[in-house]
Structure 1
Amino acid sequence: MEIPARTDVRHFTVALLGAFLVLTSASARAQSAPTPLEDNRTITLGYIDIAYELGGIIDPTLQPGSTSSARPNWFTFAPHASQAGGKGMYCAALARHFINAARGQPSVSLTGALNRLGLGDVVRLRVQDLSLQLIAQGLTVDAAAALSVLTSSLNVAALGDPRTLTTTASRMGAMYWSAPGATPLDKVETIVITLERTLHEGNLAIFNDIGGSARLYLGWRAGATGPITPARVLSEFTLVDAYNAEAQQAYAWAVAHAEDSPRPTRMDVLFPGMHWKSLLIAAFALYEDARLAPTPARRDALIAMGTNFVAWREQFDQAQAVFTPAGAPADEISRAAVLQALTPFLMTDFGTVRWTYADFAYAQPDRDGNPLTSPPTEYSWADFWDRWNGILFAFDQAYARPTELWVMPEPLTDPLG
């Protein structure tokens, strides 16, 4: 190597130092930005705090770490739902680590690829079945394993239905062949990025909006003097973009119809033209009303109406915009396609009450009347109504075992640190 002259050495040193500073600065920025799983951990813990604070308003006997027999409110469900989204991000993180390792040293067999993933026996068997189906469609061993592992922390048992296995493989194969990327692993990474961003953005959007509104409410309540009544909430507590007159309208309707059977759920029909953030104020008023209710049955009916109001705002305004955005980045594929492919595997543990989308789908009338298609593959989490009805099914399932939702989840960490 030729040694540069003194002047050139100085220039070379300055340039090298500049490059080092740029790299150091970039590294610092990268380290300062939380990962999706780190954000998910913060959000899950934040929801747990809110769940106990708000739950303690409805049921004054509730203490952090204890349980309540009152019907769960939206914020009791929220930590578990956040954890479920985190499991999808966990799958994405596992796929990312696998892709990075496979770029340096490709697997020589599917067995070798699965060994790298370190999956348990039952999960490994299902991931293997899906990988084999994808390999038959022309995917490489590593691409097939990386794509299949996106189901590994979800309800992978759904693959035990051969119809679900076949349809899932077909959908994943179609996503793979449509994804941009110069290499097989590049194409799979596009799918992984799409899933991770979708879940992460949804997690942040919902927590910032609804979790932030709850924090504002709890702060307002703590600073208020005198008894807190639903009327005070509706007239004194405000949120940006919400209209107190609309909140009053929704609250009055809910009080009159809380014990209707079936419980009303079509907010678009009930309150056409309403700004859905107004429903949050109405929900807080309903939760206060539940605290004052004369009987447990009336209390629980008011809680359920308030929870439906919050869930509508969550799903109709926050989640839907993330799941089906107006435009997609060039390094993504269709978010709706990714969510549809994973819908049969969706699962949430509400404490010790396990909800799966497959259970919901199998409990419905056969949608297409075709015995060759499995019911869970006939729905899509990206479709608002499919998602909304599945969530209402989960609420009703959990309402039958209210104390069990207070077994709070342990927030997730990166699968490989």
Structure 2
Amino acid sequence: MGTGETVQVAAGGKPAGLAGQSAGLAGQSVYLDYNATTPVDPRVLEIMLPYLDTHFGNPSSAHSFGLKPHAALARARAQVAALIGAAPAEILFTGSGSEADATAIRGVATAAIRSGVGRPHVIAQATEHPAVLAACDYVRDHHGAEVTVLGVDARGLVDPRDLAAALRPETVLVSIMLANNETGVLQPIAELAGITRGHGALFHTDAAQAVGKIPVNVTELGVDLLTLVGHKFYAPKGVGALYVREGVALEALIGGGGQEQGRRAGTENVPYAVALGAAAELAAADLAAGSADRLAELRDRLQRELQMRLPGRAHANGSGAPRLPQTLNISIDGTLGHAVLSACPNLAASTGSACHAGTHRPSPVLAAMGVDEERGLAALRLTLGRWSTEADVLTAAKAIIEAAG
């Protein structure tokens, strides 16, 4: 494939043959932890590798060694922008989703203070990723901002009326995630963003779990800032991006050189940006080929198997709301999630968020939804991806049913 700009996906949302599968999935275990991280697609790896050795130059260099990296960086920016319906100039490369979230929240709050807002007000909601909540805590503790955290209902959804009631004249930013990392629940972002922008504030959404899994268009959503992360859709860990709508005032977290339009100093990580761009192009083709429908069918098959074989005991958390097509959060009465997974050594999955793995305490997300402690401790997060098959689903269901007793 060389350093080609185009990657190929077969019809049906599946990679073209077994050659498309990550070598890391070739073992005996069934991998159902795609929300924690995805393997790097071999096609992505092939495209990025030349920029680690052959095309190693600094993209800011005017000599010949910088030309191809410069062009590759521009191409990657355009590929990422195309996936979410943005302009290339609106894409800011970051080192992670957490950095993108911090840049959005801290950057907007700091810019507001510089513009004369004495004590800015920021709104988030209870089931956000810890990166968003940490950034909100930072602007409260270091910049004197006021922070409001909205509750959610039993489905995990924010009530638009609660947001409208929480907005104040000094509100500068609302940050509400598009898709929850544990339950897959999709918030009504277009409606929430419309309320926010009608009030004159900016709207950020952490779309790390959504981009590449469902169609995402920043214009249709009406958002001003959006976070996406490479390792959630088959690019390497250590690269992400923040969409910043043209005209949004944003202070840089990292000062220094003028890279990324002065919003993130430091020589650009060209190989990883190239990988993110390639992964974005693959994701767009996957979605066009029906990958979301294929994964929704597998997810629903897994849920039906568990509920049919464990009658009255298996309860899907967040199932009353729109969800990501490949995410199933399910609690099995009379079990502990970590004990079930320990009894399934050939199944890779999570108990709630991977960011809290091993703590053996109820998920804060489920607690915010009103799920009681017993059911929260019984929760399993089973997430599918590009190479998941019906055989994987049946194997996983059998192992879980046997472990649940």
Q: Normalising by the residue count of structure 1, what TM-score does the alignment of the two structures yield? A: 0.25
Q: Normalising by the residue count of structure 2, what TM-score does the alignment of the two structures yield? A: 0.26
> Larger strand proportion, structure 1 or 2?
2
> Larger helix proportion, structure 1 or 2?
1
